Amino acid sequence: MIPRRRQPYHDKGSRAVISWIRHPVFACFSACVVLGTSAILLRIHIRPPLSETEATISLIEQMPDWMSISKLGGPDSVRMISTLEQIDKEDTALLRMAVQRYWEREVLAKIGSLEAQGRLFILNRFIFNVPQVIDGGTVRAYGGWDGIPINPDRTTVDLAWPLATGNGHVALVGMYQGYCGDLYLAPDEFDDFNSRFGRRRKIR
């Protein structure tokens, strides 16, 4: 008995030939569909997913520019907190890597982008359990941010500013006031906050 040769799929004069082409940058999906005497070639480029670090950096970049926020409690303030809540879901090691890479790319390489520095300044205060009242003698300076609330006798500092926690929610309560001095050392402050305060308690 001679085995029958397997025939390609046919459906009322139509047939489809599908092939995959792999490329280190993207996957190319090609489909040739023949309908009667007409042929249509479909080519779809599917880029690979971002790495976890780059995906986290992408979230950081989605944070509104603190300097451009003109109204506390407005849409940009709400979007700021909403984005930070998404970032806060990542583990500490991944966040540390993302902060370092973003700082090198957007702050160090661009000689002090205030927009990028502002994002990291607020990020560090959101993901860690930074106290709103702390002994002024224990505060370590990593940047020249203006507006940080300091007790008149300089004994206490609101280290969590421009954020505050109330009724179980974190809110942006401070506007950008200015910056002076050298680059903000966000990765170093990240390590300091992580070792001294730990991650912010999750509020469900």
Q: Do 30 and 109 sit in the same domain of this protein?
A: no
Asked if the structure places residue 114 within a domain, the reply is yes
Asked if the structure places residue 111 within a domain, the reply is yes
Q: Do 22 and 116 sit in the same domain of this protein?
A: no
Instruction: Categorize the per-residue pLDDT at 200 as very low, low, confident or very high, splitting at 50, 70 and 90.
Output: confident
Asked if the structure places residue 2 within a domain, the reply is no
Q: Do 35 and 57 sit in the same domain of this protein?
A: no
Number of domains, the chain: 2
The angle, 0 to 180 degrees and rounded to 10, between the axes of the packed helices 92-102 and 52-62 is 70
Helix (H) or strand (E) holding 200: none
Q: Do 175 and 107 sit in the same domain of this protein?
A: yes
Asked if the structure places residue 66 within a domain, the reply is yes
pLDDT, tens only, 112-163 = 789 999 999 999 999 999 999 999 889 999 999 999 999 888 789 999 999 9
**Per-residue CA distances from 158 to 67, 82, 150, 186 (Å):** 20, 23, 6, 18
Q: Do 42 and 56 sit in the same domain of this protein?
A: no
- Domain encompassing residue 26: 14-46
Cα–Cα distance, 134 to 159 (Å, whole number) = 7
Q: Do 40 and 68 sit in the same domain of this protein?
A: no
Q: Are 66 and 118 in contact (CB under 8 A)?
A: yes
pLDDT, tens only, 57-108 = 999 999 999 999 999 999 999 999 999 999 999 999 999 999 999 999 999 9
Token pair of 13 as six digits? 């004069």
Q: Do 39 and 84 sit in the same domain of this protein?
A: no
